[in-house]
Structure 1
């Protein structure tokens, strides 16, 4: 199986750590290495320079090559421009279809947290076998713990098969990023899992799905393939720019025939590090006696249930605070309440509107 690390996003909800020139996947957020390096390490012996690919943009590619120089230059799939995951993943599938149209491949997000690497790798091995046997799209979903409005929800039915503790479930439908009342209903329903965005199929099957369900993308894939094969970067960019700017979840997942999909319940300690709130939640087991998550040179008095993160050795001191997020970088400081993590992207939008591009 081939693995494609998705590393083209900017992660605006993790500002000011995540920037246009230094996105979250290239930051050391949860360990002593970057999130991208963690994503590769999570794959263990399953991945090697021969079957590992990077999907990103030209700016990030330069940085990634410095971080993981072992990946061959011809294993970088460079997006002509940012157009969301729908076009990006269609481009990857089309690109991969040149050399391995029927070989299973897995899209691996670069910003997720995996606690149990052994079970994660066992899950991916089982997925590869199931793709070869059934020809179906495999997707991983995980048990929800609260009514999230930033994740998609997968409705699942009966257990299809249990392979070495990996549970394959019937797919009954997908709801992408519902509002809070709907998310609460889905959580209470008991038949919905969080969609973790690990798509696994063959490149040719992905291409066919786009052509069937997402004509705003699929209708351009033959022209895109011709441009790729000709090595014509200008034509490639021209074709790519015409594709509908949309996520794969809205473009394809919500529309797919349930008979063509199997869901794997991810039981490997998955976490989506998409905001400072989720960073706190996923790393809450490392908090101090006052439930503070500290990644900084910090001293505090009467401070509880807070996150303090710094990229420097500058001292951060707090007094009488609770449920606060403080993120300190050399040129920008964020202070907000825990629970307002989704609103950080509003600051990014505000900075853009005011021309403060230096801080983006």
Structure 2
């Protein structure tokens, strides 16, 4: 027994050492300074930057050798009222954004240092998610928690983004990038759509090649405008463009009207996205849950949105074949750009999402998988 306990102690000690090394060498980035080294990740922080609980927040930056920039918004839920604030449906605290950011950078997706990636030598600006506001808020949301205590949720996403961008543009020497990609997944996809105009207006107005790729970020909600104005307290430059129950479409419409064909607009999603279907169910029925009938409705909503996307000349990539976590029911995975499957060639499309995106950046815009919205999925038994 003593020998077994000693072995367990040694194993636990080794695990603690590994965790400490991970924190020191992976999570704990040096602060951005003037003239950053190429290929090195830096932390970008400021006293005005904070997470939803008022703790510190930082963005991340890596300078590339090419004159190209990817601005990447991570996802993680949304807070639109007291109920969602109490349920903690968003990422908070410093460690969670760091862990999420490292997952984003190191698990093999678009922002990862993948050998041979077309983005391998791009500069990267990464915004972890910690404010529940699609990276767009400037306000304080007062609510009562489950224990009856008065609390404040700091919707500080836009403030964080602005402070970080100011520092990066002053210190990194990337202001004259010729190619810029704004992207994000889930809540970060909404953030990318919301902030793309701000990025191209205030930071990269002279970029000859402007691109936006929104990954899995669409849900119909009658109160988007009210939420942005009164809950998140987003700037008027954002809220003035929210006019319907489809926030994503509103932002894409604004971008197309302002930039014409000088910007490439892309949207990707799976056919029966379990997480988006769940959120849609909450917005419409007040139930944060999902089953196959709810997924059916999401698939129909996606089908009905396609003509709107095409009216705005948005390139589409619709996919399936990846399950909703380990759920045996017929629902599909949520988001793709943070995962290695972004490089996977889908059989139906004979194309990977990364290839489709790269083609679009190079001016070859195409649609893939649109017929999947009509695909009939067999219902599973014994649900």
TM normalised by structure 1 equals: 0.31
Q: Which has the higher contact order (CA 8 A, sep 6+)?
A: 1
Name the one with the larger strand percent.
Answer: 1
